Amino acid sequence: MTLSVLSDEHFMKQALVEAQKAYDQDEVPVGAIVVHKNRIIARAHNYTEHLTDVTAHAEMQAITAAANFIGSKYLVDCDIYVTLEPCLMCAGAIFWARPKRLIFGAFDAKRGFTLLSDDILHTKTEMKSGVLSDDCGKILTQFFQNKRTKI
């Protein structure tokens, strides 16, 4: 029997499943999951419109749910996957949560935290970008194209 270590692409596909749920509910399609020892312990998607709450980004909800699941405010040994580069608010939350890794898909050329500084995350947190970035970007492009068509 061999230990199967699942790939970043595998987990990003799960974050994309969350993004699609947001899309289907007319929310900006961003999804996030938290993985602990190869197991998904939290799933969330952007829900700002339904909750009338700017803080209800995918990452924020995933962090809260994961901390609740593991019973610790620090997400030790956890990896956060998110389809879009976190904004400053979410990067700030990820700083406080101190996960082992942050993996994101598409870069956010308007609101991505790396536009301001690469030094925002906690030193305990490694970052990887560009995982399935085409798919992660495409769902957003399609969403905003549809919005413009409706106007």
Q: Does 53 bind its own copies (CB under 8 A)?
A: yes
Question: Which stretch in 14-22, 112-120, 130-138, 140-148 sits in contact with its own copies by CB under 8 A?
Answer: 112-120
Catalytic residue (one of 18, 27, 59, 85): 59
The span from the first CA to the last CA of the chain, in angstroms, equals: 56
**127 touches its own copies (CB under 8 A):** no
Piece of the chain touching its own copies by CB under 8 A; list 17-25, 32-40, 44-52, 127-135? 44-52
Residue 43 CA to its chain's centroid (Å): 9
Give CA–CA dist 12/52, Å, rounded.
27
**49 catalytic residue (yes or no):** no
d(CA 130, CA 61): 22
Strands (E), 13-131: 31-36, 39-45, 78-84, 101-106, 126-128
**Residue 84 lies near its own copies (rule: CB under 8 A):** no
Residue 114 interacts with its own copies (CB under 8 A): yes or no: no
Q: Is 78 in the site for its own copies (CB under 8 A)?
A: no
